[in-house]
């Protein structure tokens, strides 16, 4: 266990991947809208310092660079966790029902079901955003391929690749919105610092992620520690679902 009653939830590599993916997706969204083009139409180009957003070639280059970074980091993320056999965030059987129970608990004050390292809804959100990212990458590659010299794809292929590219991009935006909206729930705000420091309160883990806590205790990492013994549970858990 880390000092001051902390548990390491996200290592340096996970945090690095998270923020690089976030930055690359932001650049893709921003440059993608610039390709439509929207920024001249809605006069963003008239804002001081933003004239460059109306340059099609520049936003296209930014889009390609963002795509390259995203593909490299996603490939690294997949192979890194496959090699380490880390599947904590992969969806499991019963996640939909468990997510419904958690959401009900948030509104009714009833007990949440005991959770692993990630809540069921977090695992489902990961799958939703992950599949959307894979979809936008694959369809984006088709869109780039059709622009290569000597390539002549069927109109139906071009239509569906463009349509699915736009659809999966909108799904990513929706996923990001829901991801951020989840922090409106007081109990979820305890996880925000972990995306910067990697750490989360041990009392929070023991209370809300009891299955993960049991795994850590069984491995001997937190032997002899109990937030109950420290008398901190009641004060630290105020605002949590019971």
Q: For residue range 91-140, list pLDDT tens digits in order.
A: 999 999 999 998 888 788 778 888 999 999 999 999 999 999 999 999 99
- Rounded Cα distance between 199 and 193, Å, is 7
Say if residue 236's pLDDT is above 50.
Answer: no
**Secondary structure class of 200 (helix, strand, coil):** strand
The DSSP H or E segment spanning 100 is helix 95-108
Report pLDDT for 240.
36
- 53, 44 in Cβ contact below 8 A? yes
Q: For residue range 159-196, list pLDDT tens digits in order.
A: 999 999 999 999 999 999 999 999 988 888 889 999 99
Those residues with Cβ within 8 angstroms of residue 11's Cβ, 6 or more apart along the chain or in another chain: 198
Report pLDDT for 234.
32
User: Which of the two residues, 231 and 72, has the higher pLDDT score?
Assistant: 72
Say if residue 201's pLDDT is above 50.
Answer: yes
Nearest to 165 by CA among 187, 143, 192, 182: 143
Instruction: Dihedral sign for Cα 4, 8, 11, 17, please.
Output: negative
Say if residue 232's pLDDT is above 50.
Answer: no
DSSP string computed for 111-157: PPPP--SS-HHHHHHHHHHHHHHHHHHHHHHHHHHTTSTT----HHH
Say if residue 154's pLDDT is above 80.
Answer: yes
The pLDDT confidence band at residue 11, using thresholds 50, 70 and 90, is very high
Q: For residue range 23-80, list pLDDT tens digits in order.
A: 999 999 999 999 888 898 889 999 999 999 999 999 999 999 999 999 999 999 999 9
């Amino acid at each position: 266990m880390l000092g001051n009653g902390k548990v390491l939830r996200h290592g340096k590599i996970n945090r690095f991947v998270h923020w690089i993916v976030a930055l690359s997706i932001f650049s893709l969204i921003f440059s993608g809208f610039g390709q439509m083009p929207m920024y001249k139409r809605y006069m963003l180009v008239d804002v001081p310092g933003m004239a460059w957003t109306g340059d099609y070639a520049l936003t296209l280059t930014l889009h390609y660079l963002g795509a390259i970074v995203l593909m490299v980091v996603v490939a690294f993320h997949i192979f890194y966790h496959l090699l380490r056999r880390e599947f904590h965030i992969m969806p499991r059987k019963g996640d939909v029902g468990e997510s419904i129970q958690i959401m009900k608990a948030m509104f009714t004050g009833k007990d949440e079901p005991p959770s692993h390292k990630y809540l069921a809804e977090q695992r489902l959100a990961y799958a939703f955003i992950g599949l959307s990212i894979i979809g936008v990458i694959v369809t984006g590659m088709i869109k780039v391929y059709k622009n290569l010299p000597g390539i002549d794809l069927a109109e139906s292929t071009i239509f569906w690749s463009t349509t699915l590219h736009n659809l999966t991009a909108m799904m990513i935006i929706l996923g990001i919105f829901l991801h951020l909206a989840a922090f409106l729930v007081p109990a979820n705000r305890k996880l925000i610092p972990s995306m910067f420091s990697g750490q989360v309160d041990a009392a929070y883990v023991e209370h809300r992620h009891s299955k993960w806590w049991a795994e850590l205790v069984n491995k001997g990492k937190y032997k002899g520690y109990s937030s109950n013994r420290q008398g901190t549970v009641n004060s630290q858990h105020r605002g949590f679902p019971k």
